[in-house]
Structure 1
Amino acid sequence: MNLLTVFLQQAGGGDYSFLIMMVAIFAIMYFFMIRPQNKKQKEIANFRKNLEVGQSVITAGGIYGKIKEIEDNAAIVEIASGVKIKVDKNSIYADAQATQTK
């Protein structure tokens, strides 16, 4: 017996408990999974939009550094004295240690 058959049998009988249960499961998934993920993505996008020269960052590969220059879709990050790499903005994250010390 598939899910559609069960739903039609219960809906046809006037018992809406299955429908209510499905709505409740979707609401729980929305508030505990979808909504927090969307909020986190907006925070990351806002952080990347407001990057500043001299800010400590971490790349997606786990490289710590400071921003030296900012271009349209990339940033120049200094990872050691005199060692600079060009990194796409989409792979830059906030340095947790730098944000905790402020």
Structure 2
Amino acid sequence: MQLLAVPMASSGGGGGFTLLLPLILIVGMIWFMSRTQRKQRQKQADTVAALTPGTKVVTTSGMVGVVEEVDDEYVTLEVSDGILVQFVKAAVGRVLPDDEPADEAVEAPAADPVEDRVTDEVAERDTVDVPETGEAKAQDKKLPPTHTEN
């Protein structure tokens, strides 16, 4: 019985590069992400540094107010007539332009109560306009109930 030693096939010397390629890609992604974060931090620092009394701002928690006073660490906002709230400067999220309304998320309440607006005209709800063709299409199936009854 004879045993023959057969050498293993090699990739031809490209093994070092194929091992370094994922490492290079990971380092590149980390560098790119840190660069983006650094730009965002610089933009935030510039926004906070440019705060002056009378500027409309939105905090990171969603509070809208007008800057009344700016200290070294804090900014005082007037959130309503005569109500002043003090925030850390880093809590200022963005500055609102003068032409943008401060309470854009608040909608005016409906004039009619809900009970008065409910109608028995179900026929209008049975069709839906198809955006592509503009034709009315009958709805084929109803939605399942959102809760169970006891």
TM bucket, shorter chain:
0.7 to 0.9
Partner of 2:22: 21
For residues 78 and 85 of structure 1, what CA distance do their matches in structure 2 show? Answer: 6
Percent same amino acid among aligned pairs?
A: 24
SS at match of 1:52: coil
Cα offset, 1:98, TM superposition: 2.1
Partner of 2:85: 85
Partner of 2:70: 70
Gaps of 5+ in 1: 1-12
How many residues get paired? 87
Tell me which amino acid in the other structure corresponds to 2:77. V
1:39 maps to 2:39: yes
Partner of 1:98: 97
Structure with the higher helix share, 1 or 2: 1
Which segment is superposed worse, 37-46 or 14-23?
A: 14-23
Cα offset, 1:14, TM superposition: 5.6
Q: 1:100 to 1:93 in 2, by over 3 A?
A: farther
Gaps of 5+ in 2: 1-13, 101-150
For residues 77 and 28 of structure 2, what CA distance do their matches in structure 1 show? Answer: 42
| Greater length-normalized contact order (CA 8 Å, ≥ 6 residues apart) | 1
Q: 1:19 to 1:98 in 2, by over 3 A?
A: same
RMSD: 2.1
Tell me which amino acid in the other structure corresponds to 1:58. V
Q: 1:45 to 1:78 in 2, by over 3 A?
A: same
* Segments of 4+ moved more than 4 angstroms: none
Cα offset, 1:47, TM superposition: 1.1
For residues 54 and 83 of structure 1, what CA distance do their matches in structure 2 show? Answer: 15
